[in-house]
Amino acid sequence: MKKIIIASVIVLSITSCAKNYYRSISTPDSFGQIRREVYANADSAFMAGDASHNPWLFDPDGELTLLDTPAEYLLFGDTVSFNAKATLSASGDGPKGIFVPEETLTRKFRWFYTHFTYSAVYKQLEYDAPVPIGNYLTPEEQRLWTQGDQDAYRLLNGYEMSEVLSGVEDKFMDWYSRNCFELSLRSLGTQVSERTLDADMDKIYELLVEKDEGISPDDVCLALDEFYGTDFFSSVYRADSESIDRRFEDSVKVVELFCTCICHELVVPGRLLKTNAPEAEPNLLKWRVDFMRLLLDDFSLTAVYRTPNLWAFIASSIVLAGAIVSLLLLYKKGRV
């Protein structure tokens, strides 16, 4: 039942928009600088020179390249074509916007090796949620549902994991639908708020849940009419439905980002020591960054690798060779 509620609220938004993929490739150098290339699929207007049709989720301030022949990649099971590329530097003040990470690369010198620690932090999305997620999910459940938590649940078998996820899913959907209910009420304005009692809201919400229908301003008005035995609330909606729907849609606009997915890649110019990347190829790490992972918290990508200091090996070899020669000379001199 709760799945139907959520589906009626967001499925149309998700299915009506095409999946919006990006490919972001970060290439660090030995000096602690990061070069990042972000591929996007631009429309014909942008390709023709209309900068207002910017396909990226930020305002690119670096080099832009329009590809005559779209490049195809296999990302998370989908074949994706890109026809535009922005080349950026993570040093200094980079581009700002949603789905833009804060990247850092720190170095620690060891005689034979230099250790590098890479970090990219995608910030939690900003949106209006009148009802806190903490009213429904514990911090551990929030992390499991949006970003995963293999350490906490790695000992569960499939049946046990299914039971855990089912319970967390129900709580998450309760939270989402309750926020849609509260945002619907808010979009209806003072005419409605002045005619309703806070003490009645839980009962009215349950009335909507029992109907197995959507939660929008129109649905809420029908439930209010039924609960209070009137047609006042529906008349308020009909009198200004366009403005009310627009206010509600603006308040849940973040749902549109369900269609956004970034393949964040890191080129590793050395031996990988540790990472939280779910996919690791030779010298290449991949993370999936999407709406759900940024819904409740920041999403951090980390990797530690090392590169050899060739000059240190050469210098050490010279010193060692010199020491051996000196010892041999001393030994020979002592025998004379």
- For CA atoms 53, 59, 65, 71, the dihedral sign is negative
pLDDT > 60? residue 271: yes
Q: 267, 264, 282, 269: which is closest to 30 by C-alpha?
A: 269
User: What confidence tier does 18 reach under pLDDT thresholds 50, 70, 90?
Assistant: low
Task: Name the pTM for this structure.
Answer: 0.82
**pLDDT of the residue at 152:** 67
Q: Write down the residue that tokens 């350490």 correspond to.
A: 151
212 confidence band (pLDDT: 50, 70, 90)? low
Confidence of residue 85 (pLDDT cuts 50, 70, 90): very high
pLDDT at residue number 21? 93
Amino acid occupying residue 263:
C
Least confident of 21-35, 49-63, 277-291: 49-63
Query: What token pair was written down for 186?
Result: 């808010």
List alpha helices for the chain, DSSP H.
2-16, 44-47, 139-146, 150-153, 158-187, 190-193, 201-210, 217-228, 232-239, 241-251, 310-335
* Predicted pLDDT at 336: 52
Contact call for residues 258 and 291 (beta carbons, < 8 A): yes
Backbone angles phi, psi at 112, to 5 degrees: -90, -20
Q: Are 243 and 33 in contact (CB under 8 A)?
A: no
Residue with the larger pLDDT of the pair 258 and 178: 178
Beta strands 279-281 and 284-290 are antiparallel
pLDDT category at 242 given cuts 50, 70, 90 is: very high
Mean pLDDT of 120-140: 92
Confidence band of 281 (pLDDT split at 50, 70, 90): confident
Q: What is the mean pLDDT of the chain?
A: 86
